[in-house]
Amino acid sequence: MDTADLGLPVDVPSTALFTDRYELTMLQAALRAGTADRRSVFEVFTRRLPEGRRYGVVAGTGRVLDAVENFRFDSDVLDFLAQQRIVDEPTLTWLADYRFRGDIWGYPEGEVYFPGSPIMRVEGTFAEAVLLETVILSIFNHDSAVAAAASRMSTAAGGRPLIEMGARRTHELAAVAAARAAYVGGFATTSDLAAGFRYNIPTVGTSAHAFTLLHDSERDAFTAQVQAHGSGTTLLVDTYDVAEAVRTAVEVAGKDLGAVRIDSGDLLLLAHRVRQQLDELGAKNTRITVTSDLDEYAIASLAAAPVDAYGVGTQLVTGSGHPTCSMVYKLVARAGSDTPDSPDAPLLPVAKKSMGSKSSVGGRKWAARRVDEHGVAEAEVVGTGTAPEELAGHQLLVELVRGGEIVGREPLDAARDRHIAARAGLPLSATQLSRGEPVLPTEYLPA
């Protein structure tokens, strides 16, 4: 099944209202002023990584492409704008024919990024590009935060599989996006069926404590589950007494019991005790899965424990303390006149001047990652104009939309594989969980 054809997992007529009112009021003013058709370049970037993080993860690119494709002002949306008197009649007429017909370049999904990295560049008229600000930022800020947490957890897990199970800890639609982002960041499976349906992410899940409590005894519950799902199922063993539950589980399922899950208590101590008990009972191939408010630090603390898989919920879907990446969408270049320009016309760099930390760097940018003689990344290089010849083979931005047509859509597994490779190309210190500065410096080169 080609999941890209399924559309968005939201019951709305379009993505056009996933925006802020001021984008439409700016549009109306620009139309009146005659500046709406000025060729413009917007860029998505962050001025800083979340405190203590050493790299960021680009996630949500595929969802951004879906959102741009579905950004349409249909009759219901236009009626709402008219009734609320948000924009005037000429602006409504303009919106009725809205299609993004510009170009978008960006870091491919799964790539890593650093402060100042131009992870997406949106080019078109001011009018068509400015409307996309909020929907693009809402996707990237959420998905990249989850993917960064997932990447850190994946590193901490040391190759042991991770299960995303945070649907009940966030908005129902955010849960689907979070499962997708977690998969990009290195998680193997999800418990969320909507994510499995929409993105073909493998789904897992067997039973909760309620199933054990439903039955007259733990043995009855285990028997019912094994009869329904076979001996390869995962039995939850911490409803009452863990040692007694493990003994009963092996008696019911046999030595081929697939796995046991521990969801509370001292996970380090219990994992060792359960492993010893399983081995003594002859269930040496039975796996141990642990859950219970895990984050990357808790996972790392279990590195020496006989744990085979981790299930993570709350901390994952909330970015493990950093639920946003603070990405911004800024105009960095525009045409020098009100007359629509050809794509090759010169652009004037523009940038906000600020006494605080909100200044930006003007100009249409390229980005490349310089590597050392061992192939390890040593700097994120950002510049305007033409990139130096020695960096030509290390350019990061790829074409995503050309003339309004999506050209950069790809399977989700491609983003997942790319992230593994990108993370492996960073200095070893990138995998440290301790607080630190970005593992690569960002260098700006003049045109």
Q: Does residue 187 lie in a domain region?
A: yes
Domain contains 312: yes
Q: Within 13 Å and on the Cβ side, how many CA atoms surround 303?
A: 11
Q: 335 and 314 share a domain?
A: no
pLDDT reported for residue 447: 73
Q: How many domains does the chain have?
A: 2
In this prediction, residue 359 carries a pLDDT of 73
306 and 428 part of one domain: no
Residue 141 within a domain: no
The reply to whether 140 falls in a domain is no
Cα distance between residue 85 and residue 399, in whole Å: 38
- What does the alpha-carbon distance between residue 446 and residue 329 come to, in Å, rounded to a whole number? 21
Among 319, 348, 369, identify where a domain stops.
Answer: 319
Both 179 and 283 in one domain: the answer is: yes
- Residue 136 belongs to a domain: no
Helices and strands (H, E) in the chain, number of each type: 15, 18
- For residues 95 and 63, membership in a common domain is answered with yes
Distance, in Å, from the CA atom of 152 to the CA atom of 177, rounded to the nearest integer, reads: 18
CATH of the domain at 431: 3.20.140.10
Is residue 259 included in any domain, yes or no? yes
Q: Are residues 402 and 335 in the same domain?
A: yes
How big is the CA angle at 121 (ends 339 and 27), to the nearest 5 degrees?
A: 45
Alpha carbons 61 and 409: distance in angstroms, whole number = 9
- What are the pLDDT tens digits along the chain (447 aa)? 344 444 544 444 589 999 999 999 999 999 999 999 999 999 999 999 999 899 999 999 999 999 999 999 999 999 999 999 999 999 999 999 999 999 999 999 999 999 999 999 999 999 999 999 999 999 999 999 999 999 999 999 999 999 999 999 999 999 999 999 999 999 999 999 999 999 999 999 999 999 999 999 999 999 999 999 999 999 999 999 999 999 999 999 999 999 999 999 999 999 999 999 999 999 999 999 999 999 999 999 999 999 999 999 999 999 999 999 999 999 999 998 766 555 666 899 998 887 667 778 899 999 999 999 999 999 999 999 899 999 988 999 999 999 999 999 999 999 999 999 999 999 999 999 998 999 999 999 987
Domain boundary among 253, 287, 319: 319
Residues 387 and 299 in one domain: no
Q: Which residues of 77-95 are buried (b: 16+ CB within 10 A; e: fewer)?
A: bbeebeeeeebeeebbebb
pLDDT at 339: 67
Q: Would 218 be classed as within a structural domain?
A: yes
- CATH number, domain of 263, equals 3.20.20.70
Check residue 340 and give its pLDDT. 59
Domain that holds residue 123: 3-131+326-445
Are 314 and 335 within one domain? Answer: no
The verdict on residue 206 lying in a domain is yes
161 and 211: one domain? yes
Query: Does residue 186 sit in the same domain as residue 160?
Result: yes
* Dist. CA 147–CA 140, nearest whole Å: 10
**Residue partners of 325: CB distance under 8 A and separation at least 6:** 46, 49, 50, 56, 140, 141, 144, 145, 148
Do residues 381 and 285 share a domain? no
398 and 286 together in one domain:
no
pLDDT attached to residue 3:
44
Per-residue model confidence (pLDDT) at position 358: 73
- 102 and 14 fall within a common domain: yes
Where a domain ends, among 276, 292, 319?
319
